[in-house]
Structure 1
Amino acid sequence: MSVKSADTKARILEKSIELFNRFGFVSIRMQHIADEVGISVGNLAYHFKNKDAIVEEVYEEIELNQKILLSDLKIVPLFINIDQHIRDTYLIQQKFSFFYSDTFEILRNFPLIKKKYREYTRWYIQQIENMIAFNVARGTFIPETQDGLHQKLAEQYWMTMELWLYQSRIRTFDEANIEDYAASLWALLIPHFTHIGNIEYKQMHFNENFNWL
């Protein structure tokens, strides 16, 4: 692929994401995308044969971005790393907000994405379980008081992380807020802190509030 062709393809994806975010992916046709990019529909079809191909490519980018973030978190999931992961995830969801607002509709219309998303979700929840287990081992999380509790916590954490934007838009017309997003996720984890965990969490926020010193 030539540099010019690669640049055109990247611009198509960029403009498609912008249009999907503004109007929803269902409302956008190939003509809309071609007009936004400033090319003909025929030229657009040279790079992507239809809108399905564009959506599938965008999903690949979403999943890749999320996996990179989670790989970074897996190295040392201390509280400060968890908080950074939450905030970076929020930024990804803002960049691809159409996907997180219309997840069910997209999965229903794109079987390939549905299959990949389900496999990715299982893997993602397992990584969250590993994050919890790491913090139990270092004494910041309380050990399970009953079998399967941390698995359920991991599932709740994933659901809140993945569906927060959708729920937020249903409940209010206000712009989504990164602090509310982070607070919603930490609210699930805080009840499982040990005394050491509570100290680390308070210290993390103390350092954030006074990082200007």
Structure 2
Amino acid sequence: MKTKSKLKAISLFNSNGIANVSMKQIADALNISAGNLSYHYKNKAVLLASIYEDMYAETLDFILPENTYITLFHFEEMMLKFANLQQRYSFFFNDVVHIIKTYPKIAKQYEQSNLTRFKEARKLIDYYIETKRLKPENDIINYNKTIHTIWMISTFWQAQKLAIQSPKYSINKCESITMLWQLLLPHLTQKGTEEYLQLKQFVNRTN
């Protein structure tokens, strides 16, 4: 019942937005009483916290391999996994500001997980610099800001597509990874550029 309840809640949240779905609506969609649902999840905050724990657990699979040569494809693969996660939990990323303001416990957990990921991303950037795929940091290049920009684009990618839906505007019709590469391409060394071109030969995506 718990798993079924969460899956139904995610489906309703994705369709209608978290603020527009009540516990009673979730119970009705499950064909159970509101009391039966509240037996498992006292309120929407408890239900959302459980869903967030599942979502966070899935992100642990995005960890890069150890003791091996990490290619630029690993970055691509990691970001594609995150994009897939966004599709399945689209409500969270579309409503992230509302969630942060309304559910402080989740907001704190989300902040801490992002700060941890910033540190991991910095390690990856440094690795790419050491292996001569990225140019060294200097007075112009600040990779901490690049990392934060990558986070903003990937986190709010679904939301910005909702904000700008005009068929006449095509820039945001691509996958988020395409936009992320636009940030990194100017910083690639010749070696990095050659590796990226090899990657493009084997990866099909919407440009």
TM-score by length of structure 1 reads: 0.87
Structure 2 residue 201 is the aligned partner of structure 1 residue 206: yes
| Cα deviation, residue 77, structure 1 | 3.7
Partner of 2:71: 78
> In the alignment, does 2:170 pair up with 1:192?
no
**Secondary structure of 2:175 counterpart:** helix
1:22-43 C-alpha deviation (Å, 9 max, x unpaired)? 0001111111111111211111
Partner of 2:118: 125
Match of 2:155 in 1: 162
Gaps of 5+ in 1: 1-7
Code of the residue aligned with 2:125 in structure 1: it is: I
1:148 shift after superposition: 7.5
Q: Specify the alignment match of 1:99 in structure 2.
A: 92
Residue 74 to residue 105, structure 1, CA distance change in 2 (3 Å): farther
Asked if the contact 1:86–1:182 (Cα under 8 Å) also holds between the matched residues in 2, the reply is: yes
Kindly indicate which of the two structures has a greater share of residues assigned to helix.
1
| CA drift at 1:207 | 2.3
CA distance in structure 2 between the partners assigned to 1:186 and 1:178 by the alignment = 15
Quick one: percent identity of the two aligned structures? 28
1:135-181 Cα distance to aligned partner (Å, 9 max, x none): 0011100010138811111111111111111112111167xx89421
Question: Would the alpha carbon gap of residues 147 and 202 (structure 1) be closer, same or farther in structure 2, given more than 3 Å must change?
Answer: closer
Structure 1 counterpart of 2:39, from 38, 46, 56: 46
Q: 2:133 aligns with which of 135, 140, 144?
A: 140
Q: Which residue of 1 aligns with 2:18?
A: 25
Residue identity in the other structure for 1:194: T
- 1:43-90: CA deviation from partner (whole Å, max 9, x where unpaired): 101110111111111111122212321x2x253542111111111111
Gap runs ≥5 in structure 2 = none
Contact preservation (8 Å) 1:144, 1:150: yes
Which residue of 93, 105, 108 maps to 1:112? 105
CA RMSD of aligned residues (A): 1.8
Distance 1:192 1:142, change over 3 A: same
TM-score normalised per structure 2: 0.90
- State the aligned residue count: 198
Amino acid of the structure 2 residue aligned with 1:43: N
In structure 2, relative to structure 1, the CA distance for the partners of 1:129 and 1:147 (3 Å cut) is: farther
Q: Select between 140-149 and 13-22 the one with higher mean Cα deviation.
A: 140-149
What amino acid sits opposite 1:163 in the alignment?
F
